[in-house]
Each structure stands twice: as structure tokens, then as C-alpha cells.
Amino acid sequence: MNRNILFTLGGTSFANQVWKVRIVPDTPFQQQRTLVPDGTISDVDSATYTMELEGLQDYETGGLAAYLLTNAGTQVAFAFAPVNTAGKKKFTGTVVVVAAPVGGEQGEFAQMELEMPIIGTPTLTTV
């Protein structure tokens, strides 16, 4: 359960501005059946990763959306721990920053949903 997470971009904590952080692998594979009863040819490629974020559009000083806009296109370090307690696991790596959308519906908090590509494979360490 994600209740007290660690989430940083470029060393700045944004844990209090997001309600979803996911690191998602994409592992392409292909499989072809051949002309014998149990015949198949399979190939699995290396995974690529993205970070999915959902949170508050905060463009004020210290806001995540402002940080994303300012740093769009740059590579920054990230850290994410589903449980921010000493000894628990965390993921670290580098993402390419993508700007957040702007705006929303009347009478509601402005929200954002976006994906950022992760460079390489995230590293699993401890908090």
C-alpha cells in the first residue's frame, strides 16, 4: 500500500503533489507458430521503462507542474519508494522530463496525467 512514499525528481521531493507513481516496463515479444503440432518460435526483446504520474497541476513556486515545465526535455535523477521507511526498497534512475498539461474542469482541482521515458533500467536499492 502506498501511503508514505518517497518521490523525488532532481533531488526535490514531490511526494505531496502526486497520487500515482508507477514504473512500467514494456517488454516486446513475438511468437510465431510453425507448421508442426507444437512448433513455435519465440523472441523476447529487452524492456524499456516509463514513469507514469498523476497529480496536482501546481505551477506555483515549488510545484511539480512548474518543475516539469522548466525542465522539459532534460534528463534528471529520480527516486521512488512505495514505502518511505528505512530498509524498504526504492527505485532510482534517470527520466527525460515531459511538461504537464495545463487546465481542467470548472470547480475541480486541476489535475495532470503524464508519462516520462526512463533512460535504461531502474536500479533497485534500499531507502
Least Cα distance to 88 among 126, 123, 50 occurs for 126
Q: Are 76 and 94 in contact (CB under 8 A)?
A: yes
Domain ranges of the chain: 6-26+48-126
pLDDT of residue 45: 83
pLDDT of residue 6: 95
Task: Count the neighbouring beta carbons within 10 Å of the beta carbon of residue 107.
Answer: 5
Q: Which residues of the chain have pLDDT under 50?
A: none
Q: Environment class of residue 10 by beta-carbon count within 10 Å: exposed (0-12), middle (13-18) or buried (19+)?
A: middle
89: closest CA among 124, 51, 50?
A: 124
| pLDDT on residue 1 | 62
DSSP 90-106: EEEEEEE--PPP----T
